[in-house]
């Protein structure tokens, strides 16, 4: 039998930056349409928008992510910045 470890001592699995993700509530033309792309590209798109749009943005990955011992299924506004810190190409 295998024992699982949860909580602060558990190692977070690698983030699959290629999984599908939706970046919604961002102005695109005349409306706020969701864009479905990879998680990595969605985070990069969030970085490219202005501060006011970042505050309204909602990012939903294909499946929940374990970040710092917390499982999150939806990232809203500045919470998306947590993912920026984990981007492989981000300093």
Neighbours of 61 (CB within 10 A): 22
Number of structural domains found in the chain? 1
Q: Which residue has the higher pLDDT, 89 or 22?
A: 22
φ and ψ at 9, to 5 degrees?
A: -80, -10
Share of the chain above pLDDT 90, in %: 47
> Residue 24 and residue 85: Cα distance in Å, rounded?
20
DSSP 3-state assignment of 77? helix
In a domain, 33, yes or no: yes
Mean pLDDT score of the chain:
82
In a domain, 8, yes or no: no
In 3D, which of 47, 54, 43 has the Cα closest to residue 21?
A: 43
16-59 confidence digits (pLDDT tens): 999 999 998 886 667 677 788 999 999 999 999 889 889 999 99
In a domain, 45, yes or no: yes
pLDDT at residue 90, as a whole number: 63
The parent domain of residue 69 ranges over 20-84
pLDDT of residue 64 exceeding 50, the answer is yes
In a domain, 74, yes or no: yes
């Amino acid at each position: 039998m295998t024992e699982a470890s949860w909580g602060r001592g558990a190692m977070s699995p690698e983030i699959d930056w290629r999984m599908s993700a939706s970046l919604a509530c961002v102005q695109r033309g005349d409306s706020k349409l969701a864009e479905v792309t990879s998680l990595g590209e969605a985070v990069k798109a969030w970085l490219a928008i202005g501060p006011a749009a970042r505050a309204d943005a909602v990012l939903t990955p294909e499946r929940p992510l374990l970040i710092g011992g917390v499982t999150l299924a939806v990232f809203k506004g500045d919470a998306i910045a947590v993912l920026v810190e984990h981007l492989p190409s981000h300093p």
